[in-house]
Structure 1
Amino acid sequence: MSRPTVYIETYGCQMNVSDSELMYGSLAAHGYEAVDGPEGADVILVNTCAIRDHAEQRVIGRLGELRRHMKKGTVMGVAGCMAQRLGPTLLEKARHVSLVVGPDAYRALPQLLEGARQGERVTATSFDLEEHYEDFAPRRFDRVKAWIPVQRGCDYRCTYCIVPYTRGAERSRRLDDVVREVEQVVRDGMSEVVLLGQTVNSYSDGTHDFAALLRAVGSVDGIRRIRFTSPHPNDFSDAVIAAMAEVPQVCEHVHLPMQSGSDRVLKRMLRRYTREGYRDCVARLRAAIPTLNLTTDIIVGFPGETDEDFEETVSLVQELGYEDAYTFKFSPRDGTPATRMDPATFVPDDVASARLERLIAVVRAGARERNLRLLGTRHEVLVEKAARRGEMLQARTRDFKTVMLPPDGLAIGDYRIVELTGTTGSTFTGVVVPDAAPRRLALPMAATAAAPAC
């Protein structure tokens, strides 16, 4: 008798990617076979994001498209943050959906699917603040790096953010459990880990903080690169910054959400830091790690944002010199405090769109200017995957720059020293430097040309 097949389609953040790996692993242990497409699968699961309304509307549309791939007896399910937020409403919106399961209910997924295959329509969205899926063996998508959740949920409750309502309160895994998973990752042949949390640098298992976690993961033999996402500016203690600077495996890249450069807007967002506080955090990081590459998240058009507020955001972007930024128009999410603000303060869509367009142009112009100065410099890269177009391979520097390389003599998972030969403004092309072996567990090679000004 053939094994039932399952296809999972994933939207949203890296935490969702990790959760899909957990679901695949659990279902494989219960006799399911993973397939690469939805056509004819016995189970189709859509793991969803609820951060912005656009993401939810996209999923609703995709659920309709996936219906044509269902055969008699196929179970369609929705998982993740959108499932948690909408619950049984999803069963009403999409009659062909039989299962709605939130991020804390994946342990019961095999049993829930069995009920759905018998004709039940089920919603499972209760929070479990003790759940970390420690006994799950994830089926990892990536064979080069591993996504490792170290923390779930969030206690910050920014006024625009749905995460506390879809992921629950903040809780951290035990340090020893994280280290054991990292050791298994090395045994599986991977040398880079990405530590995940909603505010990952606020990690605490009651005994160990994030600095201790970085040092413990760095001590695992075979780990060459450590990344983490996403931190909060308020949680970069001196101890955390010291660990980042002193543990050679920690990469020289921080994705540090700014959201706005205006104190007025930051206060309305309940971000709990000021423009000057954010600037100071960046200064402390760069003082400890001079080669740091900084990326960020920014929201424009938040209720009450004036032209002057927006200009403060633009000026801070220009001052701090981000290599990239994820930029968004404010998207009201039902149940968050921002939706209850005075409607008269909401920014017209055409104004928000114009601000977004300008902000993107500012970020790209600054990144392109700095990237042009890097041509001719040498960097260690890890070859990650085949590029989407052409026959090139995609590699990544320690400070998170993307480099396209000709495939001759290279394999996915290789570390090489490359020279940057060209740039589109955001990504690079490069060539491998013959006979230049990467230095194991060392900081990046010094650039052979002047580094860009911060």
Structure 2
Amino acid sequence: MHKSAPTVYIETYGCQMNVSDSELMYGRLEAEGYVSVDSPIGADVVLVNTCAIRDNAEQRVLGRLGELRRDLKAGAVLGVTGCMAQRLGPRLLETDTRVQLVVGPDGYRSLPSLIDGARHGERFSATDFDLEEHYEDFTARRFDGVKAWIPVQRGCDYRCTYCIVPTTRGPERSRKLADVVRETAEVAQRGITEVVLLGQTVNSYHDGSHDFADLLRAVGRVDGIRRVRYTSPHPNDFSDRVIAAMAETPTVCEHVHLPMQSGSTSMLKRMLRRYSREEYLDCVARLRAAMPGLGLTTDIIVGFPGETDEEFADTLSLCREVRFDDAFTFKFSPREGTPATRMPAEWTIPEAVVDARYTELLNTIRSISREKNLGRLGERMEVMVEKEARKGGELMQARSRDFKTVLVPGGPELIGRYLTVELTGTTGATFTGTPVQERAPLPMAS
């Protein structure tokens, strides 16, 4: 009797690096005969690929594991992978008896053998770092048909005082430029026209011979690629070479996500960000001088230990000075093992103060974004259609080169297409756009 292939379901939390890692895990398991499925119900193997950047991300996963335990079929293998697995390691096995596998970001090569062992009742924790591991021989199973996440660097050496990433991802190491170019060419041959280069501090990339400027130029030259993006850079690593490569490579998009975290030099020092308010502003000025019309987004933390009213005011004033297009805003979340948890208890900011500051920051960011977006109505731009809009109603979600979300009329047949649209409306955060026919030039008079 024919035995059906085992099925696997992976649920992903967190950043784009986790999405990319899930693609690698699916690829690895499919190469071993597994079939991916869209639901945990009835799956032979269920893996939860986790984030550890904030406590609420971990709490969500713990709650989800409880739900999954109820849904799992008898004999199914339940595993936790990713950053939370790396951080907690064997503790996860001790606190949740139904979890059989705990695998960190450098352990995915051994997944098939670990799953085989789990099927025979064994329980494993695989959380050793492997500084040579870049999964070069893995073929990722791409979730997205129009853009590809391509890791170029793993780990981080910066050690900001609030950040768990060096603990969960290990020290920084970069892939060889030729390997990144090869992977880019492979996705282009499949018809994918946009790539996003991933790294914890991606612009510090260096493979021993080539820096991030070399990488941008090389990836940007690959036949079939129309857009190159990257995330997330560090303000300290925008050398003149990198900025010139961005400005001079036509496929590199006019958008930078430039994490700020705070607008106060004294706060940035406590965060160990290694730049001052003035140095951040200088980085912004150099980027905008090289690329007029650059879209600029950022990350900001509110309520870091010891944050004074004056330091918070500095953050608001820097937002008004830079005029970001958008920002991801976060309330400080202490992470076990980071230096921020060892700061004096009296530095802890009362929850009510954090909430009030967070609301004020959010209102400031939204007001600036809305004002900027209203000023762009009537503008024409190229967008690439990515997916169906959540609102539905025959609307598709598209993205401009400078990272604006534009809703355009149409159906799924437009996915992957490039359109010229006129911006006709804005909610403050997103635009609506109408496709326009590019007029052919008039014939010259004889």
**Same fold by TM-score, threshold 0.5 exceeded?**
yes
Of residues 276, 283, 288 in structure 2, which corresponds to 1:281? Answer: 283
| Structure 1: runs of 5 or more not aligned | 438-454
Deviation at 1:26, TM superposition (A): 0.2
Aligned 8 A contact 1:231 1:256 in 2: yes
Provide the residue aligned with 2:434 in structure 1: 431
Q: SS in structure 2 opposite 1:254? A: strand
Q: How far does residue 374 in structure 1 lie from its aligned partner after superposition? A: 0.7
Task: Compute the TM-score of the two structures, normalised by the length of structure 1.
Answer: 0.95
Cα distance in 1, alignment partners of residues 114 and 315 from structure 2: 47
Residues of 2 paired with 1:306 and 1:37: CA distance?
47
> 2:19 is matched with which residue?
17
% identical aligned pairs = 71
Q: Which residue of 2 aligns with 1:44?
A: 46
Residue aligning to 1:404: 407
State the 1:388 CA deviation: 1.4
Q: Could you tell me how far apart the structure 1 residues matched to 2:251 and 2:215 are?
A: 13
Q: CA deviation at 1:93?
A: 2.0
Structure 1 runs of 4+ off > 6 angstroms?
none
SS at structure 2 position matched to 1:383: strand
Q: State the Cα RMSD in Å.
A: 1.0
- Find the aligned partners of 2:54 and 2:354 in 1 and give their Cα distance: 15
Q: Choose the corresponding residue for 1:395, options 373, 394, 398.
A: 398
In the alignment, the residues of structure 1 paired with residue 192 and residue 439 of structure 2 have an alpha-carbon distance, to the nearest angstrom, of: 22
Q: What is the CA distance between 1:155 and its match in structure 2?
A: 0.2
Contact 1:295 1:325 in 2 (8 A): yes
- Whether the 8 Å contact between 1:323 and 1:367 is mirrored in structure 2 is yes
Is 1:238 the counterpart of 2:251 in the alignment?
no
SS in 1 for 2:183: helix
C-alpha distance in structure 2 between counterparts of 1:37 and 1:405, whole Å: 30
1:72 aligned partner = 74
Moved more, 386-395 or 373-382: 386-395
Residue 129 of structure 2: aligned partner: 127
Q: Is the 8 A contact 1:416 1:436 kept in 2?
A: no
Contact 1:303 1:341 in 2 (8 A): yes
- Residue by residue over 1:66-108, the C-alpha shift from the partner in whole angstroms, topping out at 9 and shown as x without a partner, is 1122111100000000000000111122211110000000000
Aligned equivalents of 1:411, 1:34: Cα separation in 2: 26
Contact 1:417 1:436 survives alignment (8 Å): no
AA aligned to 2:108 is Y
Can you list the C-alpha shifts for 1:113-168, whole angstroms capped at 9, x where unaligned?
A: 11011111110000000000000000000000000000000000000000000000
Matched, 1:422 2:422: no
CA distance in 2, matches of 1:130, 1:257: 28
Give the Cα–Cα distance (whole angstroms) in 2 for the partners of residues 103 and 271 of structure 1.
25
1:330-375 CA-partner distances (Å, limit 9, x unpaired): 1000000000000111111111111011100000000000000111
Partner of 2:223: 221
CA distance in 2, matches of 1:54, 1:328: 11
Partner of 1:368: 370
Conserved 8 A contact 1:226-1:251: yes
- Deviation of 1:410 after TM superposition, in Å, equals 5.0
Gaps of 5+ in 2: 441-446
Aligned amino acid, residue 255 of structure 1? H
Instruction: Answer yes or no: is the 8 Å Cα contact 1:10–1:46 preserved in 2.
Output: yes
Separation in 1, partners of 2:171, 2:412: 48
- TM-score, normalised to structure 2, is 0.97
Deviation at 1:385, TM superposition (A): 0.5
Deviation at 1:9, TM superposition (A): 0.4
Q: Aligned pairs, how many?
A: 437
What is aligned with 2:444?
A: none
Q: CA deviation at 1:408?
A: 5.7
Query: Partner of 1:446 in structure 2?
Result: none
